[in-house]
Amino acid sequence: MAKNHAGEPSEKGNKVSVPDFLISSVVPAGTQVTDPEHGGAITIGAAGTVPGVTPGASNSNSSSAQIYILDWTKTSLGSLPPGYGLMDPDTAPGFLTPGIVLGHEIGHVQYAWGKGSPAALNTGQNAVMRENDVRRWMDPNAPVRARDVGIP
Ligand SMILES: [Zn+2]
């Protein structure tokens, strides 16, 4: 039997299709990518600067996924501005790290692959849950992400 990238049995080509292609790319600010979960064509860049610009994006289907993360060594990831209901509490900017951004996008991929949390009603909720996993690993008392929306 074939093995996926994690060395686990893969049923691809048999009755059950197991997704096993996940490609992550670190890209410079200004890169145009396709992210169907966030409105289609979007631009990678610092959060909280320009409407529609985001430091992370993903493009998934049932058998593969591509994640894009802003190159944080050259451009700040930015932060989630308070006052838009993005964070709980929503009184201070939501800080971002590469792990937080990656956790969020993995949540979108996980949902697209049918492996999301049973409690997640949609891809955005699953992305927020995985993002908050990372936030809580870093600091159990940190503010958490409240919802997944376009960053103003
Ligand atoms: Zn999202």
C-alpha 14 – ligand 1 centre gap (Å): 32
- The tens digit of pLDDT for each residue in 92-101 reads 899 999 999 9
pLDDT score of 62: 80
Q: What is the mean pLDDT of the chain?
A: 86
Domain boundaries, the chain: 22-145
Question: Does the pLDDT at position 12 exceed 90?
Answer: no
C-alpha 127 – ligand 1 centre gap (Å): 6
Question: Does the pLDDT at position 14 exceed 80?
Answer: no
Residues linked to residue 34 through DSSP beta bridges, in sequence order: 41
C-alpha 108 – ligand 1 centre gap (Å): 7
CA distance 109 to 59: 8
C-alpha 25 – ligand 1 centre gap (Å): 17
Instruction: Output the pTM of the full model.
Output: 0.84
C-alpha 13 – ligand 1 centre gap (Å): 30
Identify the helix (H) or strand (E) that includes residue 93: none
- The tens digit of pLDDT for each residue in 86-128 reads 999 999 899 999 999 999 999 999 999 999 999 999 999 999 9
CA distance 78 to 69: 12
Cα-based distances in Å from 11 to 17, 129, 146: 6, 28, 36
List Cβ neighbours of 122 (8 Å cut-off, separation of 6 or more): 111
CA distance 32 to 15: 36
pLDDT score of 18: 59
More confident residue, 3 or 53: 53
- The tens digit of pLDDT for each residue in 59-90 reads 998 888 999 999 999 999 999 999 989 999 99
Question: Which of 144, 141, 63, 74 is closest to 103 using CA atoms?
Answer: 144
Q: How many CB atoms lie within 10 A of CB 25?
A: 13
Find the distance separating the first CA and the last CA of the chain, reported in whole Å: 47
pLDDT score of 52: 81
Percent over 70 (pLDDT), the chain: 85
C-alpha 105 – ligand 1 centre gap (Å): 6
Question: Does the pLDDT at position 131 exceed 60?
Answer: yes
Do the beta carbons of residue 104 and residue 56 sit within 8 Å? yes
Question: Which of 59, 58, 68, 130 is closest to 100 using CA atoms?
Answer: 130
**Ligand 1 (ion): which residues have CB within 5 A?**
127, 148
Question: Does the pLDDT at position 44 exceed 60?
Answer: yes
pLDDT score of 50: 85
